[in-house]
Amino acid sequence: MDFSFDERTAELHEKLTDFMAEHIYPAEPVFDEQVAAQSDPWARPPVIEHLKQKAREAGLWNLFLPDPRFGGGLTNLQYAPLCELLGRSPHLAPEALNCAAPDTGNMELLADFGSTAQHERWLKPLLDGEIRSAFCMTEPDVASSDATNIATRITRDGEDYVINGRKWWSSGAMNPNCALFIVMGKTDPDADRHKQQSMICVPRDTPGITVKRGMHVFGYTDGSHGGHAEIVFENVRVPADHLIGAEGDGFAIAQARLGPGRIHHCMRLIGKAERALELMCRRVTERVAFGKPLADQGVVQDWIAESRVRIEQARLLVLKTAWLMDTVGNRGAHSEIQAIKIAVPSMTEWVIDKAIQAHGAAGVSQDTPLAFLWASTRTLRLADGPDEVHKASLARRELRKYRD
Amino acid sequence: MDFSFDERTAELHEKLTDFMAEHIYPAEPVFDEQVAAQSDPWARPPVIEHLKQKAREAGLWNLFLPDPRFGGGLTNLQYAPLCELLGRSPHLAPEALNCAAPDTGNMELLADFGSTAQHERWLKPLLDGEIRSAFCMTEPDVASSDATNIATRITRDGEDYVINGRKWWSSGAMNPNCALFIVMGKTDPDADRHKQQSMICVPRDTPGITVKRGMHVFGYTDGSHGGHAEIVFENVRVPADHLIGAEGDGFAIAQARLGPGRIHHCMRLIGKAERALELMCRRVTERVAFGKPLADQGVVQDWIAESRVRIEQARLLVLKTAWLMDTVGNRGAHSEIQAIKIAVPSMTEWVIDKAIQAHGAAGVSQDTPLAFLWASTRTLRLADGPDEVHKASLARRELRKYRD
Amino acid sequence: MDFSFDERTAELHEKLTDFMAEHIYPAEPVFDEQVAAQSDPWARPPVIEHLKQKAREAGLWNLFLPDPRFGGGLTNLQYAPLCELLGRSPHLAPEALNCAAPDTGNMELLADFGSTAQHERWLKPLLDGEIRSAFCMTEPDVASSDATNIATRITRDGEDYVINGRKWWSSGAMNPNCALFIVMGKTDPDADRHKQQSMICVPRDTPGITVKRGMHVFGYTDGSHGGHAEIVFENVRVPADHLIGAEGDGFAIAQARLGPGRIHHCMRLIGKAERALELMCRRVTERVAFGKPLADQGVVQDWIAESRVRIEQARLLVLKTAWLMDTVGNRGAHSEIQAIKIAVPSMTEWVIDKAIQAHGAAGVSQDTPLAFLWASTRTLRLADGPDEVHKASLARRELRKYRD
Amino acid sequence: MDFSFDERTAELHEKLTDFMAEHIYPAEPVFDEQVAAQSDPWARPPVIEHLKQKAREAGLWNLFLPDPRFGGGLTNLQYAPLCELLGRSPHLAPEALNCAAPDTGNMELLADFGSTAQHERWLKPLLDGEIRSAFCMTEPDVASSDATNIATRITRDGEDYVINGRKWWSSGAMNPNCALFIVMGKTDPDADRHKQQSMICVPRDTPGITVKRGMHVFGYTDGSHGGHAEIVFENVRVPADHLIGAEGDGFAIAQARLGPGRIHHCMRLIGKAERALELMCRRVTERVAFGKPLADQGVVQDWIAESRVRIEQARLLVLKTAWLMDTVGNRGAHSEIQAIKIAVPSMTEWVIDKAIQAHGAAGVSQDTPLAFLWASTRTLRLADGPDEVHKASLARRELRKYRD
């Protein structure tokens, strides 16, 4: 359980730190201006494409992908501190380095389970940052934390599959560049509980697809990143070879996708918390009230110390989880993945809340990244299963030791 | 300290409860549709004017105003349970009954301190709901919790005053109907600490005013209610009789305005919390996960019980404060006003957070009122002075008992 | 819902405030010295008998008892502020005024349900402060929060009842003055769920009773107040007329006893919190660290303000509950009694914890009342049913509004 | 930063785990019985001496001491998991292995700074477990978190030093076996702030010493471990060679002693939390209420999951701190030592509180170790400097990055 940086990590970490300073942070106000200036809420500000090119040139591209055939081939432990850095500017840096969800999960999934044809048609342009993709799993009418609830149907009909159902929170789906929907649905509702589901590639322009609307997150649409779409699939017909893996593999593929997805979220959340702490420290050092800098007030110092202590603990737990995933596999790290899913979003939410409070009204406004950071963080206390589901599961596992 | 409803309160409470059910709640989706359909983000959806007419017909109009010359003449204790009901639909009900901030505070201020000419020109159309107004006090560059920091200048020049400065979070100022800015600034920076400030009426179309932009609150603009503007005043010239009261009265007027403003916020916050609890209860009764309704889960029951217990305590403290304001005056109720300012926003935030969690992803979206309720509630932990300032002040007052 | 003091309350409140200052607080160090000096851990320090005499002379005696035939005949609302004062010195004042648990509950129970003979033999000397009593309900082997679990048997045998079972946490039973055990047990395990239990008077010197040991509470034995005994009843035989009420009445009598018992606890807890806040304020005013009084530190001010705000809210909820019990009865106030049982112990625990922290090591020691106050308060989060049971019950009642 | 067990640690960990199971846990009830049976509250139950012998035989002795000349020569990282195991039975295991405070700190101090004569006279019998010692630093009248406040005087007089002052919380001083007091006092009040203090060895039977009383901790005296004494030094005269190091070294020696002392506390606290979690899990698995095991209740599961998540994070932070102390020294690990001092006691307190609640009344009593564990843990939020002092210091260090 060695968390020190190896040589490659140290080198990439330094390079990425510089890249953030030189390209990403300066691009943040540019991004905001471009978004404010454009009339189409779903248009992508040109600065993103510019950053992508810079990142490719710098050799900072596809770092997330462990499979050396396609990407950087970093372990989770190597990727963790890099991903944390990306989290410091979560609406720019991940996309700039082609390390943004949901593409990351989709690329991994295609790399691991996709056919050669699927690699050629979708994985390659995704790896090249030419297209983007969406992952269509969550449904509005059922508790998605219980994956067996899924109601969308994928029915074999001759040489095709026909898809019917309603999805929402399909992130990225409103991006004009989004070319691929990976859809989870049931091929056999009568099979075993975890063999009913399948996953299938659906080109976004297939007839029968209606993108109804973008979901809001505390007033934000995430429009410039493709939003979070509600989508209706009505007799959407695709060739049978668009299925990923075999019929009934859907649940297993989803599980395989979730572990890395969750730890990536948590790595970024550490970075978000660090960014918020930095902003808080800067603010209280500069801001004077009642005759002294906010930094001299005991309550503010309490926030800063607590933030530091909580961040350190959370980071170590994320690193341990990454190390476990590398050494015993995602399955062996199941409890730890749940543990970070429980611990990290609420930690980051707490730190950002204090940073907001230290900023006064500016903290809830568009003049700092804090309010947006907060909204995306709060959401992670319920995305991919609410905290309560993970806690109950973790507790049952803990209790198993005492039951025999 | 009798908190029972008297006859008039009971009657109005019943009437308003019915009005909410018959007119306000059904108008909520209509409002959302009209907002979604309009291209101008600052346009006012027509449903509001319709509700205003209904409220006037029902005799539910200007209930907030204690001064019987102009309004309902209710005491704070009488108004509290009514204002709580308005808080259940905070973006519709207060405006529908002409009880929305910042007009309420502005109308009180004009009634108490304005000249007859000011009554005629601005108070009357405000009471009739024909125009709206903004209150321009907070400034971007200073800690507004320390009111003596204000940098805007109001300078006498012959028969006029000339105003220079920058304000932000001037709520309502982007409303096309907004006709009046009440501006706080310094007339004499060399006077005693609390005699430097004055307040003045500035017609919105006066030359020299630039409304720069609307501030966001966690992604929301509150656009359909006039937003929260940043405004630059550059050599804005108004006749000297636009001053409210005398030179140097500004601080005292602001203080007089703040007490009622804070308790109104707190009354509404009780209603917001009740609304969130109701939504949570409905959701968990209907939603099934892992084979049973969410309502059967222990953690959810814990949230509901805690919510009920916290709301009850907060409501009683608000009622006590209202009673004190009625009996010993705003000054005598100073500590209690601070106490509710500390206690109520964080209580309501807690309840809404749990209601959001119980709703899953729907809770952060536009499909329930919860995310918007949350954002406006969070903001009240820092608006009108952050919690920390009020706590420090309350503690010093408590400690005074032991220092002789 | 009028919480103002009426004339009688105001008069008693003033008299009791003076009595606390003149007699109770000065007796605290005397009590500690007498306890430290005596070799028998269960002996009663003589200062208590002295205080009892003073209280009788002052007309401050049996204030708790609502039944005017036997006591002061105060309503709950009248008694609440007096009981709060007693809570400021919880190990002296209640006993000094003959208002200490478990005697209070036992006296109420005998007054309401006891026979004339029971009144004569036990109620009279209890009211006179000549004997003390214990209430034997909780059992070690079952979850007592579910009263139907009780395993002790009370079996009719000719003219007698014979009692077998094991009880613990029978408070006061180790007091040499304790003459009466009121025992709850099952007379008919086959009857309806709530008709199986009966209650019976058992003279403490009846053969077959073994007082095994005194239970500790965080290291305290409460020895000078009769401790908390574990007691074995083995074929303990008492005449049949010692039964209180009829066979099967036990559950109903217990329920009747619980409501007042709980609100008395909560009234006293408000007083405990006030005492802790007072001690904290005195300490931080006097104590200097790093060059300034602790009172000038922001974190300490935060504690003080939060304490004041929490106490005020809790007190109002207790008063509302008292008023409800007076006007609609204990049954009608069921939810409110649960609400204060949930809210008040944890509030007081929080305040005392902060007061301890402000005292440093002195706070956990015998040099302030804080550590003992804390231990007795923490226990009330689980005595008479743990918080969690009350929360689940309160939540189900809240949810009932939405189920039909 | 490699936290894996090396071979030696793994071997010792296994051996100690077995030793705990075979000797320590079974000795807990024996210890309680022996304590209950003895009349002298300061007498040492014989089981301890028995355990010490067993530990020596097992080669589990003095593991704490990094200096290979005198002890096991383990690094902090090697000792951490062993010390955690000791914390599972904190009133038996540390003493049994001669790893109990304050002897550990005193032995380190003598090893590092003592003269050969001091090694011979005191260090040797301490290492052999023949005598015990006390550390006399804290004083009743000043805020000890600010070490420069110390008022005790150590005055040179010819060949002797003469000591005058009052100390309290001198742990172990009431142990009949305690032979040595290490006393901190001022030799030169006019020297530089951190050069005024010296440390000196004082044999316990030196004339002029009065042990006034034992301090209580929430009702506990820790009597069977030597208690926590208040001691008066009145013209206590010892030879000049009893001084440790040189005059003015006191502050530096105290600082050197504090780092290891704090991390040992934190290592043990992890073990305490694990023990509490184990007891909670066992209890809720066995205990049935309202028809199902407590373990099936959502709120209980929430406690268990939160406990697991919090313990894991805290342990990793302790390990990181240990690793830092080993690699960059105590000074380089200053912030991390503060961080664990802030994080770990409150974490453990939280876990124990939940374990108590799960046990109901048994949890606060002498029938489980929980109440005692809680009291000793709560105390660590203020011993060695209250949390607030460490937080303020940590925050200032964090803020330093942004000031220059």
C399 touches chain B (CB under 8 A): yes
Low-confidence ranges of chain B (pLDDT < 70): 145, 404
Mean per-residue pLDDT of chain C: 95
Structure confidence by residue, pLDDT tens digits, C135-189: 999 999 887 767 778 999 999 999 999 999 999 999 999 999 999 999 999 999 9
B69 and B168: one domain? no
Please check whether residue D327 lies inside any domain of the structure.
yes
Question: Which of D289, D363, D364 has its CB closest to that of C143?
Answer: D289
| Residue D198 scores a pLDDT above 70 | yes
Say whether A375 and B218 touch across the interface (CB within 8 A): yes
The mean pLDDT value for D87-109 works out to 96
Which residue from C2, C4, C313 is facing B313, i.e. has the nearest CB?
C313
Instruction: Choose from A4, A270, A312 for mutation: most chain D CBs within 10 A.
Output: A312
Q: What tokens does C21 get?
A: 């200052």
Contact C391 B4 (CB under 8 A): no
Q: Which of B244, B274, B295 is the last residue of a domain?
A: B244
- On chain A, the residues whose CB falls within 8 A of the CB of B366 are 215-216
CB pairs under 8 A between A and B: 123
Q: Cβ separation of D364 and C289 shorter than 8 Å? A: no
Contact with chain D for residue C363, Cβ under 8 A: yes
3-state secondary structure D230-241: EEEEEEEEEEHH
Q: Are residues C361 and C261 in the same domain?
A: yes
User: Which residue reads 């006891």 in tokens?
Assistant: C114
| Whether D306 contacts A392, CB under 8 Å | no
- Interface confidence, given as ipTM, is 0.96
CATH number reported for the structural domain that contains residue A173 in this entry: 2.40.110.10
State which amino acid sits at residue D18. D
Judged by average pLDDT, the poorest of A350-359, C285-294, D21-30 is C285-294
Is B299 close to A388, i.e. CB distance below 8 A?
A: yes
Domain match, A191 and A232 both: yes
A361/B contact by beta carbon, under 8 A? yes
Judged by CB atoms closer than 8 Å, whether chains meet at A364 and B378 is answered as yes
CB contact under 8 A, C382 and D371: no
Q: What does chain B come to in residues?
A: 404
> Can you give the pLDDT at residue A182?
98
Of the candidates C98, C175, C171, C185, the residue with the CA atom closest to the CA atom of residue C135: C171
Residue of A nearest to B357 (CA): A382
Co-location of B239 and B268 in the same domain: no
* Same-domain status, D283 and D324: yes
**Residues of D in Cβ contact (< 8 Å) with B304:** none
Range of the domain at D52: 7-114
Q: Which of D292, D297, D303, D304 to mutate to test the interface with B (most CBs of B within 10 A)?
A: D297
From C89's Cα to the closest Cα of chain B, the distance in A is: 20
Question: Is A285 within 8 Å of chain B by CB?
Answer: no
**Cβ–Cβ below 8 Å for D299 and B299:** yes
Cβ–Cβ under 8 Å, residues B187 and B197: yes
What's residue C148's pLDDT?
76
User: DSSP of C234-298, one letter per residue?
Assistant: EEEEEEGGGEESSTT-HHHHHHHHHHHHHHHHHHHHHHHHHHHHHHHHHHHHH-EETTEEGGGSH
Out of A109-113, C219-223, C354-358, D111-115, least confident range: C219-223
Q: What is the predicted pLDDT for the residue at B67?
A: 87
Angle at B223 between CA B221 and CA B229, to 5 degrees: 70
Structure tokens at D267: 């290592």
Do residues A163 and A143 touch, judged by C-beta distance below 8 A?
no
D381 touches chain C (CB under 8 A): yes
**Minimal Cα–Cα distance from C143 to chain D, Å?**
6
Nearest CA in chain D to C290: D146
C342 inside domain: yes
Cα distances from D277 to residues B25, C388, D113, in angstroms, run: 48, 18, 40
At A160, list the tokens.
């095709």
Distances (CA, A) of C290 to D148, D228, D249, D319, D400: 10, 26, 22, 31, 19
Domains held by chain A: number: 3
pLDDT at B392: 96
Residue contact A299–C298, C-beta within 8 A: yes
Chain A, chain D: beta-carbon pairs less than 8 Å apart: 131
Report the pLDDT value the prediction gives residue B404, as an integer from 0 to 100: 65
Mean pLDDT, range A359-373, rounded to an integer: 96
Residue of chain B whose Cα is closest to the Cα of A374: B218
Rounded CA-CA distance D254/D186 in Å is 13
Domain match, D208 and D88 both = no
With respect to residue C47, please indicate whether it lies within any of the assigned structural domains.
yes
Residues of chain D found within 8 Å of residue B298, distances taken between Cβ atoms? 297-302
A192 and A258 share a domain?
no
Nearest residue to D100 via CA among D83, D81, D114, D79: D83
Of C244, C230, C262, C265, which is closest to residue C122 (Cα–Cα)? C244
B144 touching A, CB under 8 A? yes
pLDDT at A66 over 70: yes
Domain boundary among B222, B244, B266: B244
Domain boundary among A197, A226, A244: A244
Residue of A nearest to D294 (CA): A399
- D395 vs A: CB within 8 A: yes
- Give Cα B393 distance to the centre of its chain: 22
In percent, how much of chain A has pLDDT > 70?
99
**Which residues in chain B are contacts of C310 at CB distance < 8 A?**
343
D240 and D257 together in one domain: no
Q: Is residue C122 part of a domain?
A: no
pLDDT per position as a tens digit, C18-60: 999 999 999 999 999 999 899 888 988 999 999 999 999 999 9
- The answer as to whether B305 is a domain residue is yes
Residue burial D170-196, b: 16+ Cβ < 10 Å; e: rest: bbbbbbeebbbbbbbbbbbeeeeeebb
Query: For D145-162, what is each residue's pLDDT tens digit?
Result: 677 789 999 999 999 999
Please state, in angstroms and as integers, the Cα–Cα distance from residue B194 to each residue in B149, B185, B191, B255, following that order.
Answer: 11, 12, 8, 11
Residue among A221, A365, A391 minimizing CB distance to B215: A365
D401 lies within 8 A of chain A by CB: yes
Exposed e or buried b per residue across A158-192, where buried means at least 16 C-beta atoms within 10 angstroms of its C-beta: eeebbbbbbbbbbbbbbbeebbbbbbbbbbbeeee
CB-nearest partner of C339 from B2, B282, B309 = B309
> Contact B371/A146, CB-based, under 8 Å?
no
Q: Are residues A265 and A345 in the same domain?
A: yes
What's the gap in Å between the CA of A301 and the closest CA on chain D? 5
- Per-position DSSP letters for C356-373, written without gaps between them: HHHHTHHHHSTTSSHHHH
Residue C398 is predicted with a pLDDT of 96
Same domain for D198 and D90? no
The reply to whether D390 touches chain A by the CB within 8 Å rule is: yes
CB contact under 8 Å between C357 and D299, yes or no, is no
Q: How far is C298 from chain A (nearest CA, A)?
A: 4
Q: In C, which residues are within 8 Å of A300 by CB distance?
A: 298
Q: Do D220 and C215 touch (CB under 8 A)?
A: no
Smallest CA–CA distance, residue B326 to chain C, in Å, is: 15
- The whole-angstrom distance between residue C191's C-alpha and the CA centroid of its chain comes to 31
Would you call A279 an interface residue with chain D, using a CB distance cutoff of 8 Å?
Answer: no
- Which of D236, D241, D234 lies closest to D159 in space, CA to CA? D241
**What confidence tens digit (pLDDT) does each residue in A328-339 have?**
999 999 999 999
| Cβ count near D54 (within 10 Å) | 16
Contact at CB, A366 and B216, closer than 8 angstroms: yes
Q: Do D299 and B300 touch (CB under 8 A)?
A: no
Asked whether residue A168 is domain-assigned, the answer is yes
Greater model confidence, A141 or C130: C130
Whether pLDDT at C404 is above 70: no
Chain C's closest residue to D288, CA to CA, is C143
The CATH number of the domain holding residue D332 is: 1.20.140.10
Give domain status of residue A19, yes or no.
yes
Asked if C130 is an interface residue toward chain B (Cβ–Cβ < 8 A), one would say no
State CA C269 to chain mean position distance: 10
D162 occurs within a structural domain: yes
Give me the pLDDT at residue D145, please: 66
3-state secondary structure of B257: helix
What are the CB-based long-range contacts (under 8 Å, 24+) for C73-79?
Answer: C74/C8, C74/C9, C74/C12, C75/C322, C75/C326, C76/C260, C76/C263, C76/C321, C76/C322, C76/C323, C76/C325, C76/C326, C77/C3, C77/C9, C77/C319, C77/C322, C77/C323, C77/C326, C78/C6, C78/C8, C78/C9, C78/C12, C79/C267, C79/C322
Do residues D202 and D63 share a domain?
no
Residue A302 contacts D, CB cutoff 8 Å: yes
Task: Give the DSSP H/E element, type plus range, for residue B225.
Answer: none
Please judge whether D219 and C215 are an interchain contact, meaning their C-beta atoms are less than 8 angstroms apart: no
Q: Which tokens is D92 given?
A: 């038996």
B80 close contact with C: CB closer than 8 A: no
Residue C72 has pLDDT above 90, yes or no: no
| Mean pLDDT in residue range C51-72 | 92
Interface test with C, best of D365, D374, D391 (most C CBs within 10 A): D365
Chain B CB within 8 Å of residue A395 CB: no
For residue D116, the distance in angstroms to the closest alpha carbon of chain C comes to: 35
Q: What is the rounded distance in angstroms from the CA atom of residue A202 to the CA atom of residue A180?
A: 6
Chain B CA closest to residue C309: B339
Please check whether residues C263 and C238 belong to one and the same domain: no
Report percent pLDDT > 90 for chain D.
87
Shortest CB distance from A399 goes to which of D2, D304, D314?
D304
